[in-house]
Amino acid sequence: MRIVFAGTPDFAAAALDAIVSAAPSAGWTVPLVLTQPDRPAGRGLKLTASPVKQLAMAHGIDVDTPASLRKGDAALAAQARLSGVAPDVLVVAAYGLILPQPVLDIPRGLRKGWTPKLSALNIHASLLPRWRGAAPIARAIEAGDGETGITIMQMDAGLDTGPMLAAEKVSIAPDDTADTLTSKLARVGARLIVDALRNVDRLVATPQPGGATYAAKLNKSEAWLDWSQTAGQLERKVRAFNPFPIASSLLNGSTVRIWHAQASGDRFSDPANVGSVKSADASGVRVACGAGELLITELQRANGKRTTAREFVSGFPVHVGDRFVSPQIVATE
């Protein structure tokens, strides 16, 4: 079996690593990896290869980094290169580029007689049709879902609309962030895709049922917390937006990023007190919300380091009655 892998972040790298590890005993080869182009990263904004590219290069696998697979000479060149390696199947995980039908048609397919042919498998981080789209892990946490999972699906030209081949549930712990949940799902996805490739003849394609939800791409503007929401809603946002885009607020004119917080209570607050600091000590900064209170235990000042609440309040005075606000609130005051 000749496998071309397409993916970009750590979530995808876990699957590629599992496939490469299983390849010798399974008789597979991975002649090519597709991933996103190098991006600026870190404080120095140095061009950095994706985790998938770094792993592929460590194993001596050829890598292609087209900016698009749909339009332009570069896309046509990438399609020609993909066709030239004559893959049996394309395995995709958090790649970040839309794959047009001509790309999905290139692999020869794993099982004869399947219509459409089993030529492209996607490792999707949700239990489809729940959370189709770009940010299924964060949206599941933000919505308060109790579980999510991995779906191995047969790709088609739609957005995560193809038939399901395998799935496994994963519980969402009360303290899971998008970061920790991604790690859990990456391990499950890596195992499921290897099982699917080893047992192609046992796969059954099941159409997705109705009731799909859409996981929109995360936007930096969402990071600003609206303190009129309930403490529970805000806690879920803090967890969902970790490690990106990181929940934020303004405090005494300075931007503060909120990495960890706990909700308590459900009593509605006086609107005049929403966002006000109720206490600030080593245990955390307690803030009044639309209903309940949010105890912030890990914070970060602009251009500063992540710190515990103890470290934060010792270096950045916070007083009872100070207010956390969003830029939108500042603009209307």
Rounded average pLDDT over 156-161: 91
What's residue 329's pLDDT? 56
Buried (b) or exposed (e) across 80-99, using 16+ Cβ within 10 A? Answer: eebeebebbbbbbbbbebeb
What's residue 333's pLDDT? 45
| % of the chain surpassing 70 pLDDT | 98
* Whether the predicted pLDDT of 16 surpasses 90: yes
Q: Where in the chain are the domains?
A: 2-215, 220-332
Distance from the first to the final alpha carbon of the chain: 64
For 93-146, how does the pLDDT look when each residue is reduced to its tens digit (9 = 90+)?
Answer: 999 999 999 999 999 998 877 777 899 999 999 999 999 999 999 999 999 999
What's residue 41's pLDDT? 83
Angle at 152 between CA 144 and CA 167, to 5 degrees: 55
What's residue 129's pLDDT? 97
The residue type of 84 is G
Contact 146, 172 (CB under 8 A): yes
* Whether the predicted pLDDT of 188 surpasses 50: yes
Six-digit token string for 89: 């199947």
For 279-316, how does the pLDDT look when each residue is reduced to its tens digit (9 = 90+)?
Answer: 999 999 999 999 999 999 999 998 889 999 999 999 88
What's residue 328's pLDDT? 67
**CATH number listed for the domain at residues 2-215:** 3.40.50.170
* Whether the predicted pLDDT of 51 surpasses 80: yes
**CATH number listed for the domain at residues 220-332:** 3.10.25.10
Same fold, 2-215 and 220-332: no
Rounded average pLDDT over 214-239: 96
